[in-house]
């Protein structure tokens, strides 16, 4: 049965925010995943602001390419912010999105490390590896899986 089609549970079935049926709160890994994804979203948004400022103050070879890059960076920031917020809420779709993004971060970090930029490479690599580790811990997986008896997702 589609979770959106389930009836709204009564007060006896409702669980407080951040708690599952067993009464356990959010695992620490959920906080790490949400925080790292949120900080990465803020960094992307800051990069988008810097790109926008640069578009108005410096000459560009391609106006269309510049606008596309600005829109792309802001769209990625918005998507990563949505992943951060919804991972904190326990939605299961966020795990795959966070995993793919962290794999991209690992690729960028390894490239930075191989080019001699150890500080940048480690600053990108360590949070990405922490998120990848926590994404597959049993407590985070269990927290992000919704069962039929819980409140509807939408």
Note the pLDDT tens digit of each residue in 30-54: 999 999 999 999 999 999 999 999 9
With a CB cutoff of 8 Å and minimum separation 6, the contacts of 77 are: 41, 42, 44, 45, 47, 48
What does pTM read for this prediction? 0.78
CA torsion angle for 117, 78, 83, 38 (degrees, to 10)?
A: 50
Q: Tell me: pLDDT of 84 over 50.
A: yes
131 exposure class (CB count in 10 Å sphere: 0-12, 13-18, 19+) = buried
Going by pLDDT thresholds of 50, 70 and 90, the confidence category of residue 103 is very high
């Amino acid at each position: 049965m589609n979770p959106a089609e389930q009836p709204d549970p009564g007060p006896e079935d409702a669980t407080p925010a951040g708690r599952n049926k067993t009464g356990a709160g959010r695992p620490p890994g959920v906080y790490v995943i949400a925080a790292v994804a949120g900080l990465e979203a803020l960094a992307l948004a800051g990069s988008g602001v810097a790109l926008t400022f640069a578009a108005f103050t410096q000459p560009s070879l391609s106006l269309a390419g510049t606008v596309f890059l600005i829109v792309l960076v802001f769209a990625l920031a918005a998507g990563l912010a949505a992943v951060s917020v919804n991972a904190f809420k326990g939605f299961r779709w966020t795990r795959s999105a966070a995993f793919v993004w962290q794999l991209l971060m690992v690729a960028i970090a390894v490239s930075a490390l191989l080019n001699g930029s150890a500080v940048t490479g480690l600053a990108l690599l360590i949070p990405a590896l922490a998120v990848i580790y926590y994404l597959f811990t049993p407590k985070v997986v269990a927290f992000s899986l919704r069962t039929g008896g819980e409140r509807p997702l939408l």
